[in-house]
Structure 1
Amino acid sequence: MSLPRFLQPAPLVALLLASGCVPPPTAAISPANPTPAVAAAEGVPLDSPGLVSAADPRAAEAGAQMLRLGGSATDAAIATMLALTVVEPQSSGIGGGGFLVLGDAAGGVETIDGRETAPKAATPQWFYVDGKALAYGDAIPGGRSVGVPGNLRLAAMAHNGKGRLAWRTLFQPAIRLAREGFAITPRLRTILAAASRTGALDPDARALYYGSDGQPLPVGTQVRNPALAATLEMIAARGADSFYSGDNATLVASKVGTAPRNPAPMTTSDLADYKAVRRPAVCGMYRAYRICGMGPPSSGATTVFAILKQLERFDLKALGPQNPVSWHLIAESQRLAYADRDQYLADGDFVAVPVAGLTDPAYLASRSALISESTSLGLVQPGTPPGARLAFARAEPQEEHGTTHFVTVDRWGNAASYTSTIEGPFGSGLMVGGYYLNNELTDFNIVPDKDGKPTANRVEGGKRPRSSMSPTLVYGPDGKLRLAVGAAGGVTIPAQVAKAIIGVLDWNLSARDAIALPVIFAPGGDAIFVEKGTTLEAMIPALQQLGHAQVLARSPSFKANAIERVGDRWRGAADPRSEGAAIAP
């Protein structure tokens, strides 16, 4: 049996499977702490300046510098996002968008939606040429996949409410990295090598990252990106509005409209009119813990919570992580949660998403009742949660391989869980001002209808595509933050996050060990996927005996980060599959 379409890798993806006081504007950015990773691993006191965990240690250090200056978790998160624009250009940055979940010491949670939007000219047939839908891989390169970037509007909104340092101070580590140079890492070079075979990268990017022989520069090569440094300096001095107007907006619209592949009509008005949006947090109780995340257009909170809540009646602690039955149950719960995700989740400004119904304990108990410890459900159908009124068709999800996640905590007990993305590796392949433009619009359903019915996640002008990003905060029975966590890896993100939460809450693992657990993924159909080279691959025969007809091992493409509270200390965690690190000021 063939793989589901969204797990049939595009050529590039296939290769990638084998990131108090406000000081004056001139405040000095101190040098890196010589032993930050050691301190983060051992834990830091709750009243220390804080902690940062990110997919690249240089970006985590940028956030730690803000904490060192007396900044908030929000300040640290923004500085981390900006630094990742420089050192992890393949995954995220100011040319993309994200979701930010903020928690305070009293348990208050707010969320900000910085997801990209489709240009106003977009229609449900946006990805059609001569009456035929483009193949997913063909839709990615060039202008048609680019959404209006949201990260800087998100950052400005968050900073206005929660920032303690001057806006321009947050940019200084990223500017220095871009101006003075950063070393190419093994992960970046691997992705550059894969991208070179697609011909999708912009000539400006090729000049940065490739030699005269057309090959990626060697690992360790210092790359300087003066164009990006100049862009960041402009935004630092003039504010986020300068990104969405003037020369930068003109350059973005022109680049999208004149792209050599898939040019598309994006206007300067599309950029000027973009707004980040405060959304209600989606929270629910799993055992004695409150789980909070990002609502639509993210599918993260509803899907993560459904996976967990449907497992609540099972004694996962007694079963343990070495028991195939545990992973069977997790896979079954994923099947049910992803079926509902694919049916109902989309931009809530365009579609009446039944969030309350999808997280209703009684509804999820009825879905849980379908799960058996001894045999698989096989194919599953979406349920009918309370409040579901729209007769949309269910559409297959599509998988992305970009994205990054980072978490920060500060001395006041505030936390930020931020997932940022340009979607696929190097996004659309288009570069403006030293940064890449996203390909987020391919997160819409390319084919807008199925079985004669519209899909909820079809393209529409001004709409935000559904996302799998799942920035999450977990509060303990005492009402205090227990865990801040999130992941990268496209449609696998909710599965990764739910698995990490189970590892911490049910199996009493550290956040580091919970993230390191192998990943099982059951998005739909009758196939499930286990991480190659792990204990789960050895469990394939046992899973087959439990009724899973098709269990396939796949190479890992996962990347998670977390911070947890253990007693009177914060402890950081980064995925061992990645180049990530937790850094203490």
Structure 2
Amino acid sequence: MNPASPCRYQPLPRAIKQGSILIGCLALGISSALAADFQYTRPAISPEGSSGFAEKPGWSTSTFAVAAANPLATDAGYQVLKAGGSAIDAAIAVQMVLTLVEPQSSGIGGGAFLMLYDGEQVHAYDGREKAPSAVDEKLFLDADGEPLDFMKAVESGRSVGVPGTVRMLELAHEAHGKLPWKDLFQPAISLAEEGFAVSPRLHQSIASTPSLAEDSIAAEFYFDSDGQPLAEGAVLKNPALAEILTRISDKGSSALHTGSIAEELVSRVQQHPEMPGKLSLEDLAGYTAEDREPLCNDWLEYEVCGFPPPSSGHLTVMQILGMMAARPDIETAIHDGVPTVEWLHPFLEASRLAFADRGRYIGDPGFVEPPGGDWNTMLAPDYLSSRAELIGDTSMGSGAAEPGNPGPLMTSWASQPEQPEHGTSHISIIDADGQAIAMTTTIEQGFGSRIMANGGTDLAGGYLLNNELTDFSFAPTDEDGTPIANRVQPGKRPRSSMSPTLVFDGESGDLVASLGSPGGAAIIHYTAQTMDAMLNRDLNAQEALNLPHAITLGDTVYLEEGRFPEATVRDLEGLGHDVETRELTSGLQALRVTEDGFFGGADPRREGVVMGD
């Protein structure tokens, strides 16, 4: 297929839609309601084990499948699909529950990218946050014109962008939903009213974010009377969120973007005690989600569809994989469940080169033109082959990778300095009719800006506001005054690394897989390695997710702590890599189409599970 043409494929084979084998290790009460009368049944699910690496089995299903980062959220999607809902219906139910049970990662106060295959065409729904209209490129500079301390900027009103998740889901539901919008909020409202058990991961997230207690609403909600983080297993009710979600279920996204909920949100941002922001009621009311043209590109025997800018995810993932594919001498061996140095070295070098291009060229397409007038120039086979030739037998070294020249530009851009990126959650769903989604959703840092809003309800709880504007470059120009593509501008969407991905057979057009991950800039590495493992090395979805991670943003190489033998570290160092070990807590979800239906994997580093019939 021509990568620049609209992506159209045939629906899933009918055989994949048949069968009804109940899969899962959870004791569930499942509604048998018809699509016109969905009724949520609270499941009997206990908190998951502590954060860390815990082996998971992988799950086979025959009719539909849903994968999400928390069992309660996965179950909500399962019940929606069981009731005859579509994949987008299930995604809405999952997201609302995640707002409640995984508030540190995503929610209605943030943004999301959604890839959706409706059985014929692929859509890219953009719910990315936007900069307020009153900001300028000096947003994150101090009085001396120097970039602010990163965490000081995060924990402030300045970091909050106009949220887009609810508006985006509403847009997608209007086109592809089956169940009524109102019904899809039942699971989250019920759990918020009745309470849920605090999981070990949520407890640990609260404990590791003491600054959350500096927000008056969050301090009262997430800490006990002694100022200690809520204990594992404590039953947490969120009546404020239940009320907010009830209003959104009744009135749609306008309930969040206008009226009393919007007024309280703006007040929380503008009245931040240390560094207020400029988000306005007009910004909220005027936000629109976008139905963008997806990027669909050839790789091996597959057609890979991902999100265009303002996400850098698909372009950078496909640059890495494209450079690797251009080097047939690269070995793809795995030894004892660990990628070999013969594969790791070129993967890391390709990452350096891809991130150099990412830092120079990619930004909001409303403000930044693509090289040569088409983002696909960055994935042209000849260009990637020329870049792959720069991968040598030893490392080019920290910071040595320079951006290439994929096409002429009307404006010259400077390279953006490296900045931290965090947070996020991923959802993959395939329904019984072949509709598939890959949705990555975020509030950026853990607990976002550490600002909690309660909708003006005077009830306990609420939802977290994003700190997405810290994804912009703090410095607007380089030392020579050349502008940075991803600098702050009013109404602009910050560059993202989110990489929701749908994969199709390049010849038949049949759906092959849905996948994605949280993890800040490392999302790109996590997604690229998983695709290579599943589709190039024939590992199943769970085996691919179990592989240890290795990343570099251009400088230090980070290997997942405790997962690589010392010999691997020494060998990489011998090739010139500066190597450190650290936790690399991805949250991958992946669904692979099989002859009998689907096989799904959930990241062993988080609480997620896969469910389906």
Question: TM-score, normalising length from structure 1?
Answer: 0.91
Q: Deviations over 1:223-244 (max 9, x none)?
A: 0000000000000011111111
Q: Secondary structure at the match of 1:131?
A: coil
Q: Hey, what does 2:307 align to over in structure 1? A: 294
Q: CA deviation at 1:440?
A: 0.2
For the Cα contact (< 8 Å) 2:602–2:609, is it kept in 1? Answer: yes
Instruction: Kindly report which structure 2 residues correspond to 1:252-331, keeping only aligned pairs within 5 A, or say none.
Output: 252-315=265-328, 318-322=331-335, 323-331=340-348
Q: Secondary structure at the match of 2:209?
A: helix
For the Cα contact (< 8 Å) 1:39–1:583, is it kept in 2? Answer: no
Q: Hey, what does 2:52 align to over in structure 1? A: none
Q: Hey, what does 1:345 align to over in structure 2? A: 362
Q: Hey, what does 2:583 align to over in structure 1? A: 555
Q: CA deviation at 1:174?
A: 0.7
Amino acid at match of 2:570: P
Structure 2: runs of 5 or more not aligned: 1-32, 49-54, 455-461
For the Cα contact (< 8 Å) 2:38–2:80, is it kept in 1? Answer: no
Q: Deviations over 1:337-379 (max 9, x none)?
A: 111001111101011133121121211111112123x222221
For the Cα contact (< 8 Å) 1:400–1:423, is it kept in 2? Answer: yes
CA distance, structure 2, for counterparts of residue 209 and residue 495 of structure 1: 33
Q: Hey, what does 2:388 align to over in structure 1? A: 368
For the Cα contact (< 8 Å) 1:573–1:581, is it kept in 2? Answer: yes
Q: Hey, what does 2:65 align to over in structure 1? A: 51
1:189 equivalenced with 2:219 (yes/no): no
CA distance, structure 2, for counterparts of residue 174 and residue 30 of structure 1: 11
For the Cα contact (< 8 Å) 1:40–1:582, is it kept in 2? Answer: no
Instruction: Kindly report which structure 2 residues correspond to 1:493-512, keeping only aligned pairs within 5 A, or say none.
Output: 493-512=523-542
- Which residue, out of 155, 166, 169, partners 2:180? 166
For the Cα contact (< 8 Å) 1:343–1:393, is it kept in 2? Answer: yes
CA distance, structure 2, for counterparts of residue 259 and residue 81 of structure 1: 27
Q: Deviations over 1:364-402 (max 9, x none)?
A: 111112123x22222110001124342111012322221
Q: CA deviation at 1:170?
A: 0.7
Q: CA deviation at 1:134?
A: 1.2
Q: CA deviation at 1:535?
A: 2.2
Which stretch has the larger CA shift, 331-340 or 471-480?
471-480
Q: CA deviation at 1:93?
A: 0.3
Q: Deviations over 1:111-154 (max 9, x none)?
A: 01100001000100012232343111110112110000000011
For the Cα contact (< 8 Å) 1:195–1:201, is it kept in 2? Answer: no
CA distance, structure 1, for counterparts of residue 498 and residue 172 of structure 2: 18
Which stretch has the larger CA shift, 348-357 or 115-124?
348-357
Alpha carbons of structure 1 residues 319 and 470: separation in structure 2 relative to 1, 3 Å:
closer
Q: Deviations over 1:380-439 (max 9, x none)?
A: 100011243421110123222211001101001111000000000110111112000000
Q: Hey, what does 1:29 align to over in structure 2? A: 40
For the Cα contact (< 8 Å) 2:43–2:75, is it kept in 1? Answer: yes
CA distance, structure 2, for counterparts of residue 465 and residue 171 of structure 1: 29
For the Cα contact (< 8 Å) 1:401–1:557, is it kept in 2? Answer: no
1:462 equivalenced with 2:491 (yes/no): yes
Which stretch has the larger CA shift, 127-136 or 68-77?
127-136
Alpha carbons of structure 1 residues 316 and 218: separation in structure 2 relative to 1, 3 Å:
farther
Query: Identity, % of aligned pairs?
Result: 41
For the Cα contact (< 8 Å) 2:364–2:495, is it kept in 1? Answer: yes
1:583 equivalenced with 2:576 (yes/no): no
Q: Secondary structure at the match of 1:331?
A: helix
Amino acid at match of 2:344: W
Amino acid at match of 1:273: G
Report the number of matched residues.
555
For the Cα contact (< 8 Å) 2:324–2:330, is it kept in 1? Answer: no
Structure 1: runs of 5 or more not aligned: 1-20
CA distance, structure 2, for counterparts of residue 316 and residue 242 of structure 1: 56
Q: CA deviation at 1:487?
A: 0.5
CA distance, structure 1, for counterparts of residue 565 and residue 586 of structure 2: 15
Instruction: Kindly report which structure 2 residues correspond to 1:6-21, keeping only aligned pairs within 5 A, or say none.
Output: none
RMSD: 2.0
CA distance, structure 2, for counterparts of residue 315 and residue 104 of structure 1: 35
Q: CA deviation at 1:459?
A: 0.5
Q: Hey, what does 1:412 align to over in structure 2? A: 433
For the Cα contact (< 8 Å) 2:213–2:219, is it kept in 1? Answer: no
Q: Hey, what does 2:396 align to over in structure 1? A: 377
